[in-house]
Amino acid sequence: MEDTGTSHVYGIDRHTLCLTALPSANSAQSLFALGTLGVHEPGEIHVVDLNTDDDVLHNTVFTHTSGIRALSAWSEKELLVVNTEGSVELVALPIAGETRVVATLEQTGRASRVLSHTQRQAAVVTPGVGVAVWDMARVAAAAHSLAQDDVECAAWHPASAAQLATGDTHGGVRTWDMRTAATAISCAHTGRVRALDYNPNRPYHLASGGCDGAMRIWDLRQPRGPLITAANHTHWITALQFNAFHDQLLVTAGSDALVSLESAVSVSSAGAADTHSADSTRPTDGLVRHYDAHESSVYAVQWSAADPWVFASLSFDGRLVISGVPREEKYKILL
């Protein structure tokens, strides 16, 4: 999908909070799953497929026993699901019909977020309690528990299931190694930290987004101050994610109904750039583009697992928007 100024929109008459990218063996197929809150009706999981061969959206809808607050892809056909009452399940998606519960993770408290790791681990965030880490090969009990009564969000270290980061309600960020003690950035934001993501190619770099509308990138080896700060939202940043293929690119989502595509090439694995260069053919740090196809708060954003130039965003009013990196930015990166 090459961006020409338009986006693909998939809309449903349901409230939604959560979105995850699904793996696909076909590089032309971008798969995303979203969950509905289902306050007055059963929940639903919608799998939306953008195939760039025909540039048309396809969808499959699965009913679920409860509304859904959080999703994380476990495989192309299995998802970790946080139900509206806080229970956490591993569910399978059949060809059609209802989801099938494969396993249930017993929780203390009302879970709000779930994250899966490639090393077959899962992390469940429960506000007022902390983070429980599960070995999905043995789901009888949590393998580890990180007590943190002010936890707001979390992110897995991309290379190690023994390490993760958490953001708290007081603007702090903590990095945890379950083999050693935690380290902290006490004043990462003024207000709640709502989103975190590690750079998958530079895992000592961590991006954070908060209620102050700022996105910051930190070097966890020297966390005295951020490497980069971008303030391109007028309200809370609710979600953000590095591009796994081109980590100079990040997308951020906000309660101002905007999605921002940011460039942080100077601190990326692509190498330092002269961010003051007058050469317009080279990528530089800064805002690449605002995407304004949403009409209400955007609560989730995900890069495609198959196409490095495609990402999706989801707003509370049930609107999924699949967008592309602008052609000119793509050519700056590739050429």
Q: What is the pLDDT of residues 200-253, one digit of tens each?
A: 999 999 999 999 999 999 999 988 899 999 999 999 999 999 999 999 999 999
Residue 251, pLDDT score: 98
Q: Give me the residues paired with residue 145 across strands.
A: 132
Does the pTM surpass 0.85? The reply is yes
Do residues 78 and 90 lie in contact, with contact meaning Cβ atoms separated by under 8 Å? yes
- Which residues are CB-contacts of 198 (< 8 A; sequence separation ≥ 6)? 155, 156, 157, 158, 165, 205, 206, 207, 242
Instruction: Parse the chain into domains and list their residue ranges.
Output: 8-334
Residue 277, pLDDT score: 53
φ, ψ of residue 220 to 5 degrees: the values are -70, -10
Helix (H, G, I), strand (E, B) or coil at 93: coil
What are the CA-CA distances from residue 23 to residues 72, 123, 163, 268 (Å)?
Answer: 11, 19, 23, 24
Distance, C-alpha 48 to centroid of its chain: 17
Residue 207, pLDDT score: 97
User: What pLDDT digit, counting tens, does each position of 116-132 carry?
Assistant: 998 889 999 999 899 99
Residue 210, pLDDT score: 96
Q: Which among 78, 178, 185, 69 is positioned nearest to 127, based on CA atoms?
A: 69
Helix (H, G, I), strand (E, B) or coil at 4: coil
Mean pLDDT of the chain: 91
Predicted confidence (pLDDT) at residue 108 exceeds the cutoff of 80? no
H/E run at residue 333? helix 327-334
> pLDDT grade, residue 314 (50/70/90)?
very high
Helix (H, G, I), strand (E, B) or coil at 250: strand
- Which residues are CB-contacts of 101 (< 8 A; sequence separation ≥ 6)? 89, 90, 91, 92
What are the CA-CA distances from residue 228 to residues 13, 209, 276 (Å)?
Answer: 38, 12, 14
The C-alpha atoms of residue 241 and residue 196 are separated, in whole angstroms, by 8
Q: Kindly state the percentage of the chain with pLDDT values over 90.
A: 73
Q: Kindly state the percentage of the chain with pLDDT values over 70.
A: 95
Tally of residues, the chain: 335
Tell me the CATH number for domain 8-334: 2.130.10.10
User: What pLDDT digit, counting tens, does each position of 128-165 carry?
Assistant: 899 999 888 877 677 788 888 899 999 999 999 889 99
Predicted confidence (pLDDT) at residue 272 exceeds the cutoff of 60? no
The C-alpha atoms of residue 154 and residue 9 are separated, in whole angstroms, by 29
User: What pLDDT digit, counting tens, does each position of 19-35 carry?
Assistant: 999 998 888 899 999 99
> pLDDT grade, residue 4 (50/70/90)?
very low
